[in-house]
Chain A
Amino acid sequence: MSSQILAEVCQCVEGFGSAAKEGRWRTTLTIYRPVARDPSSTATSAPVPMPGDLPRDFLGLTLHDRPGAYFFILRHHRLILQADANVQSLMDKLQSYKARVVLHFEGFQYQLGDFMLRVGKCVQSHADTLRGIMMEVEYLPLSSIDKSRQIMEDFLDIWQDAVIKKSLPGQFINVELNFADYGLQDQYTPQHTALQYATCIVQLMATVRS
Chain B
Amino acid sequence: MECVVQGIIETQHVEALEILLQGLCGVPKERIRVHELCLKSGPSLAVPSEIRLLCDLAQPTPSWTVRHVGGAMRGAGAEQISVLVRTMVESKVSNNALRFFYSLGYKLDHELLKIGFAFRFQRGAPITVTVTSANKMPKLHATDEAVPVTPGIQMVEITAPTAGDNYNEVGAAVSSFCEYLAPLLHLSKPGVSTGIVPTAAAAAASLLSNTGGANTPQLLYLFAMSCFQMTLLCEADAALYPLHEHDTELDDFLMLRLLRIMWSVLAY
Contact = CB atoms under 8 A, between A and B. Distances in A.
A89 B90 CA distance: 9
Interface string A33-75: 0111110000000001111011100100000000000001010
Contact of A87 (B41, B87, B91, B96): B91
Given A35-B45, A54-B44, A96 B104 contact: yes
B43 interface: yes
B93 A94 contact: no
Interface stretch (A78-86, A134-142, A148-156, A195-203): A78-86
Interface in A77-130: 77, 79-84, 86-87, 89-90, 93-97
Interface residues of A, number: 32
Nearest to A49: B44
B45 to A, nearest CB: 5
B129 to A, nearest CB: 24
A94 B51 contact: yes
A183 interface: yes
A62 to B, nearest CB: 14
Contacts of B51: 90, 94
Nearest to A44: B43
A79 B41 contact: no
A51 B46 CA distance: 10
Contacts of B96: 79-81, 183
A37 B47 CA distance: 8
B45 A96 contact: yes
Contacts of B103: 55, 74, 77, 79
Interface of B: 41-47, 49, 51, 66, 68, 70, 87, 89-94, 96-97, 99-100, 103-106
14 contacts: A35-B47, A36-B45, A37-B46, A49-B42, A58-B104, A74-B100, A81-B97, A84-B92, A93-B49, A93-B70, A94-B47, A94-B68, A96-B47, A96-B49
